[in-house]
């Protein structure tokens, strides 16, 4: 950002936080430092619920930030220059939330870390969103959704039996475990501030966020629900009543008939195989022959 007077800088800060829609987060001021998808998504969700979000882009930056800029204002700052850092400090002194999408140590190197900004504004929620967290051997490492999925353990559960694990769309780690969990942390911190009057530092990261979202998976991995190898469980494509089938027109149909009454209708209404079953014990409710027989019957019906 070019040099300017203190008056111009104050005017810029005031104009950046113009009024937002009358929603639950109305009046909450958020400074979002531009980053890749999880950070912009977090800021967009906050803006969708009424927060006044200002996205701070880096000069010459190229990325996807504009794709998730709904409801935000933006400005360009060079945080490596004293003038740019000074403007950000002024903004954070007036803000409720700072969204930091950088790896551990980046903001401290710019002298814009939590110790500095919380001294300026003790009520600030300093939300740090990273891949691996602010501490540990991976804290300064770069990564992407597939890396966070792998380290969380979830990637090992995704895929067909006998095949390599395959990455899903980058929704689980980037947006779910990262952006959305960070949003939740910010809202909870804002609520806690109504009691204590103090801000805090949030360490949201995609590995731990993804593992947390997968709590049900880990709690059931030693049960009949998820106790089999990858691709052989009830909810991962290993059961004929919960998977996808290719249809005659070259498209695909999703079949999800988990409950006994729906599974009975699926079998008796269409295919009428001579099997009696309850779908709640995948490995035992059908013999291996019957299990593959049901797969075959549904496939033939939908593909013909």
Specify whether 58 is located in the same domain as 201: yes
Most confident of 92-106, 211-225, 237-251, 269-283: 92-106
Quote the pLDDT of residue 281: 45
The answer on 250 and 163 residing in a single domain is no
- Per residue in 49-89, pLDDT (tens digit) is 999 999 999 877 655 556 888 999 999 999 999 999 999 99
Q: Inform me whether the pLDDT recorded for 273 exceeds 70.
A: no
The radius of gyration of the chain's CA atoms, rounded to the nearest angstrom, is 25
Mean pLDDT along residues 284-299: 57
Catalytic one among 48, 57, 78, 144?
144
Query: Could you identify the residue written with the tokens 């008939």?
Result: 257
Q: 135 and 275: one domain?
A: no
Pair 19, 149 in one domain = yes
Does a structural domain hold residue 12?
yes
Q: Are residues 83 and 168 in the same domain?
A: yes
* Same domain flag for 17 and 66: yes
Comparing 226 with 82, the larger pLDDT belongs to: 82
pLDDT at 138: 86
User: Residues 269, 198: one domain?
Assistant: no
User: 174 catalytic, yes or no?
Assistant: yes
Q: Say if residue 193 is in the same domain as residue 127.
A: yes
Name the strand (E) or helix (H) holding 31. strand 29-33
**pTM (2 decimals)?**
0.80
Total domains in the fold of the chain: 2
Asked if the structure places residue 232 within a domain, the reply is: no
Rounded to the nearest 10°, the torsion over CA 289, 294, 299, 302 is 160
Q: What CATH number has the domain bearing residue 166?
A: 3.40.50.10540
SS (H, E, C) 109-167: HCCCCHHHHHHHCCCCEEEEEECCCCCCCCCCCCCCHHHHHHHHCHHHHCCCCCCCCCC
Same domain? For 29 and 171 the reply is yes
Average pLDDT over residues 194-213: 95
* Residue 298 near residue 257, CB atoms below 8 Å: no
* Integer Cα distance of 248 and 243 in angstroms: 17
Residues 200 and 250 in one domain: no
Digit-coded pLDDT (tens) for 252-263: 888 888 887 887
Domain boundary among 197, 213, 229: 213
- Sole residue written with tokens 């095949």: 163
Sign of CA dihedral 116, 184, 61, 29: negative
Please tell me the predicted confidence (pLDDT) of residue 20.
47
Position 9 pLDDT exceeds 80: no
Nearest to 73 by CA among 57, 89, 60: 57
Is 143 in the same domain as 33? yes
Which residue, among 79, 68, 66, has the nearest Cα to 46 in the 3D structure? 68
Kindly tell me if the per-residue pLDDT of 274 is higher than 60.
Answer: no
pLDDT digits (tens, 9 = 90+) for 16-48: 555 544 689 999 999 999 988 899 999 999 999
Catalytic site residue from 96, 145, 174, 236: 174
Helix (H) or strand (E) holding 256: strand 252-256
User: Is 233 a domain residue?
Assistant: no
**Domain shared by 188 and 63, yes or no:** yes
Does the pLDDT value for residue 289 go beyond 60? no
What is the percent of the chain with per-residue pLDDT over 70, rounded to a whole number? 79
Q: Which residues contact 206 (CB under 8 A, 6 or more apart)?
A: 38, 130, 131, 132, 143, 145, 148, 152, 173, 174, 177, 178
Is residue 229 assigned to a domain?
Answer: no
| Residue 38, helix vs strand vs coil | helix
Q: Which domain holds residue 264?
A: 242-303
Q: In terms of DSSP H, where are the helices of the chain?
A: 6-16, 38-48, 82-94, 106-109, 114-120, 145-152, 181-196, 206-213, 215-219, 260-266, 288-303
Q: Give the highest mean pLDDT range of 2-16, 125-139, 243-257.
A: 125-139
């Amino acid at each position: 950002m070019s040099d300017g007077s203190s008056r111009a800088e104050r005017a810029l800060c005031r104009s950046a936080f113009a009024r937002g829609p009358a929603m639950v987060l109305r009046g909450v001021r958020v400074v979002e430092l531009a980053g890749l998808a999880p950070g912009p998504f977090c800021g967009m969700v906050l803006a969708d619920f009424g927060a006044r979000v200002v996205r701070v882009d880096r000069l010459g930056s190229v990325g996807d930030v504009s794709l998730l800029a709904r409801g935000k204002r933006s400005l360009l700052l060079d945080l490596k220059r004293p003038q740019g850092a000074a403007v950000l400090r002024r903004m954070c002194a007036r803000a409720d939330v700072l969204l930091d999408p950088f790896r551990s140590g980046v903001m401290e190197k710019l002298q814009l870390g939590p110790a500095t900004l919380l001294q300026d504004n003790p009520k600030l929620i300093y939300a740090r969103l990273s891949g691996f967290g602010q501490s540990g051997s991976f804290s300064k490492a770069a990564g992407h959704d597939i890396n966070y999925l792998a380290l969380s353990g979830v990637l090992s559960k995704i895929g067909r039996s006998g095949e390599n694990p395959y990455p899903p769309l980058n929704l689980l780690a980037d947006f779910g475990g990262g952006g959305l969990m960070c949003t939740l942390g910010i809202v909870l911190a804002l609520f806690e501030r109504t009691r204590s009057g103090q801000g805090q530092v949030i360490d949201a990261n995609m590995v731990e966020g993804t593992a947390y979202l997968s709590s049900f998976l880990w709690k059931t991995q030693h049960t009949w629900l998820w106790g089999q190898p990858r691709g052989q469980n009830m909810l991962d494509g290993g059961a004929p009543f919960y998977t996808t089938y290719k249809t005659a027109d070259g498209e695909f149909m999703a079949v999800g008939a988990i409950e006994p009454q729906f599974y009975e209708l699926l079998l008796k209404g269409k295919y009428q195989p001579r099997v009696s079953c309850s779908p709640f014990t995948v490995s035992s409710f059908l013999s291996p022959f019957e299990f593959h027989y049901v797969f075959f019957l549904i496939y033939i019906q939908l593909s013909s």
